[in-house]
Copies of this chain bind each other. A is one copy, B any other.
Amino acid sequence: MHPADIKPTIADESAPTTRCRIMATASTFFHEIGYQKTTVADIARALKMSPANVYRFFDSKKAINEAVLERLIGEVEAMLIAIAERPGQTPTERLVAAIHALHRHGMERYERYPRIHEMVEAAMAESWDVCSEHVAKLTAVLERIIRDGVREGEFATSDPAAAAGCIHVGIARYTHPLLVGQPLQPPIPPLETMIAFLLRSLARP
Please give the residue numbers on chain A whose beta carbons come within 8 Å of chain B beta carbons, in ascending order.
124, 128, 132, 135-136, 139, 162-163, 165-166, 168-170, 172-173, 176, 178-179, 182-183, 185-189, 193-194, 197-198, 200-201, 205
When chains A and B are docked, how far (Å) is the Cα of A179 from the Cα of B132? 14
In the complex, which of the residues B132, B139, B179, B198 contacts A201, with contact meaning CB atoms closer than 8 Å?
B198
Assess whether B188 is in contact with A135, with CB atoms less than 8 Å apart.
yes
Q: How many copies does the complex hold?
A: 2
Q: Which residues of B contact A182 (CB under 8 A)?
A: 124
| Distance between A19 CB and nearest chain B CB, rounded to angstroms | 28
When chains A and B are docked, how far (Å) is the Cα of A124 from the Cα of B163? 31
Secondary structure class of chain A's binding surface, majority of residues: helix
Q: Which residues of B contact A188 (CB under 8 A)?
A: 135, 165, 169
Assess whether A136 is in contact with B187, with CB atoms less than 8 Å apart.
yes
| Distance between A112 CB and nearest chain B CB, rounded to angstroms | 19
Beyond A124-B182, A169-B189, A189-B169, is A163–B132 a contact (Cβ under 8 Å)?
Answer: no
Residue in B closest to A164 when the chains form the complex, CB atoms = B187
| Distance between A27 CB and nearest chain B CB, rounded to angstroms | 24
In the complex, which of the residues B136, B170, B178 contacts A179, with contact meaning CB atoms closer than 8 Å?
B178
Beyond A198-B201, A201-B201, is A165–B179 a contact (Cβ under 8 Å)?
Answer: no
Instruction: List 16 additional contacts besides A162-B189, A173-B176; criterion CB under 8 Å.
Output: A124-B182, A136-B186, A136-B187, A163-B197, A165-B187, A166-B189, A166-B193, A168-B187, A169-B170, A169-B189, A172-B176, A172-B179, A197-B201, A198-B201, A200-B200, A205-B205
